[in-house]
Amino acid sequence: MTDSYSPESAHLEAILLVGGQGTRLRPLTLSTPKPLLPTAGVPFLAHQLARARSFGVRHIVFATSYRASMFAEVFGDGSAFGLTLEYMTEDSPLGTGGAIRNAAQALACGPDAPVLVLNGDILSGHDISEQVDLHVSRGAAVTLHLTEVDDPSRFGCVPTDEDGRVTAFLEKTPHPVTNRINAGCYVFQRSAIDTIPAGQVVSVERETFPGMIASGELVLGYADRSYWLDVGTPAAFVQGSCDLVMGRLASPALPGPCGEYLALEDSKVSPSAKISGGTVVGARAVVESDASVRGSVLDAGCVVESGATVVDSVVGAGARVSSGAVLRNAVIGDGAVVGSGNELLAGARVWPGVRLPAGAVRFSSDV
């Protein structure tokens, strides 16, 4: 057990993994990295930064790759969040382990300090302080946040023994032995990060964690049943935004009170429009008379015309949904136009700038 780290005497440092291209969220991520997509009225990462600070984090290193310069443009030095932010960019993607090792060069802590590692596409309500306390009290090399899901085959399955020690790390196995999965938030001992090979492509899920377990190092699981969501798909992204607006997950970064919808600056909502389910009406967006919008994300400057229906969908910046059009589980790219009478269902995606003429056409695939 190590006792050289004291939460009272040192602020926790963190690494934030934001290098992915977000391919499952295209076309939303064609011009914007997934962690910067507007979520409940602010960039997604604003929620993570605010939560991290509430648990005592003061210094965060971004591990960037895809469209790396955009993160500094949005968050700067972090002073607006009461944080110090630094940015470490990979010349070519290094995998999760390589990214952590590369970003660790900017850390100030010593080898016996815990380092929080966050994934930039996870919403979680778990108690980070409890996870850190468990890690420190047991002297672990790394402590993984674990959560329970209905279908663990889609994630990394993580069995533990009766003392909470991780016994295996089974990445996306078709026959999971437990419904506890890797929830994407880790507490590393700084010295453990330094054992990851520098400048190489390394996966913590397939290499680092299994290697630690095989060598007998103490890898712990911190399991709980709090709110957790991987926002890597359009449906999950919309759900996460709506859950934040509805107050199902608290966030210090939410720019307004919780409720059925959140209307941002200079947006216009007709009194006869029906808006519900945690919808966000973006800045300068317009929702006209008798339109119905439920559980959706309307980005800046978009227009939902009279009588249109938008359910569980994303309407990109400057896009237009014409009168009588219906969207259900659809994604409309920036500047696209959905003509009157069209129905877009079941995961249909309209690429930026595409114009669908008026008609009575039903789409359930990419356009």
The CATH code of the domain that includes 30 is 3.90.550.10
What confidence score (pLDDT) does residue 6 get? 46
What confidence score (pLDDT) does residue 64 get? 83
pLDDT (tens digit per residue) in 115-161: 999 998 899 999 999 999 999 999 999 999 999 888 887 777 899 99
CA distances from 334 to 50, 276, 309 (A): 28, 23, 18
Question: Do 214 and 145 reside in the same domain of the chain?
Answer: yes
Question: Do 315 and 268 reside in the same domain of the chain?
Answer: yes
Which of residues 2 and 88 earns the better pLDDT score?
88
Other C-beta atoms within 10 Å of 228: how many?
21
What confidence score (pLDDT) does residue 363 get? 64
Indicate whether 245 belongs to any domain. no
Indicate whether 314 belongs to any domain. yes
Q: Is 274 a catalytic residue?
A: no
Residue 222 has pLDDT above 60, yes or no: yes
Question: Do 224 and 281 reside in the same domain of the chain?
Answer: no
pLDDT (tens digit per residue) in 279-337: 999 999 999 999 999 999 999 999 999 999 999 999 999 999 999 999 999 999 999 99
What confidence score (pLDDT) does residue 367 get? 61
What confidence score (pLDDT) does residue 18 get? 86
Confidence of residue 353 (pLDDT cuts 50, 70, 90): very high
Indicate whether 237 belongs to any domain. no
Contact call for residues 199 and 188 (beta carbons, < 8 A): no
Residue 265 has pLDDT above 80, yes or no: yes
What confidence score (pLDDT) does residue 176 get? 78
Task: Please tell me which residue in 34, 172, 268, 274 is annotated as part of the active site.
Answer: 172
- Which amino acid is it at 125? G
Q: Is 27 left (phi over 0), alpha (psi -120 to 50) or beta?
A: alpha
Question: Do 92 and 216 reside in the same domain of the chain?
Answer: yes
Question: Do 98 and 186 reside in the same domain of the chain?
Answer: yes
Indicate whether 6 belongs to any domain. no
Confidence of residue 68 (pLDDT cuts 50, 70, 90): confident
Indicate whether 115 belongs to any domain. yes
Region of poorest pLDDT, from 72-76, 155-159, 190-194, 243-247: 155-159
Confidence of residue 26 (pLDDT cuts 50, 70, 90): confident
Which of residues 30 and 319 earns the better pLDDT score?
319
Indicate whether 216 belongs to any domain. yes
Domain that holds residue 226: 12-230
Region of poorest pLDDT, from 158-162, 175-179, 194-198, 248-252: 175-179
Question: Do 211 and 286 reside in the same domain of the chain?
Answer: no
Residue at a domain's end among 185, 215, 230: 230
Indicate whether 162 belongs to any domain. yes
Question: Do 55 and 154 reside in the same domain of the chain?
Answer: yes
What confidence score (pLDDT) does residue 2 get? 38
- Which amino acid is it at 6? S
Residue at a domain's end among 230, 249, 275: 230
Question: Do 184 and 35 reside in the same domain of the chain?
Answer: yes
Question: Do 155 and 278 reside in the same domain of the chain?
Answer: no
Contact call for residues 219 and 141 (beta carbons, < 8 A): yes
- 281-286 long-range CB contacts below 8 Å, 24 or more apart? 282/38, 282/41, 282/317
Indicate whether 7 belongs to any domain. no
Confidence of residue 7 (pLDDT cuts 50, 70, 90): very low
Which of residues 30 and 53 earns the better pLDDT score?
53
User: Please, which residues bridge with residue 182 across strands?
Assistant: 146
Residue 13 has pLDDT above 80, yes or no: yes
Average pLDDT, the chain: 89
Residue 4 has pLDDT above 60, yes or no: no
pLDDT (tens digit per residue) in 74-86: 899 999 889 999 9
Rounded to whole angstroms, the Cα distance separating 296 from 312 reads 5
**Mean pLDDT computed over 44-52:** 93
CATH of the domain at 290: 2.160.10.10
What is the number of structural domains in the chain?
A: 2
Question: Do 26 and 125 reside in the same domain of the chain?
Answer: yes
What confidence score (pLDDT) does residue 34 get? 83
Other C-beta atoms within 10 Å of 111: how many?
12
- Which amino acid is it at 231? V
Region of poorest pLDDT, from 4-18, 280-294, 343-357: 4-18
The whole-model pTM stands at 0.88
What confidence score (pLDDT) does residue 25 get? 80
Question: Do 181 and 274 reside in the same domain of the chain?
Answer: no
What number of CA atoms fall less than 13 Å from residue 314's CA on the CB side?
31
Question: Do 137 and 225 reside in the same domain of the chain?
Answer: yes
Confidence of residue 361 (pLDDT cuts 50, 70, 90): low
Region of poorest pLDDT, from 4-8, 33-37, 112-116, 341-345: 4-8
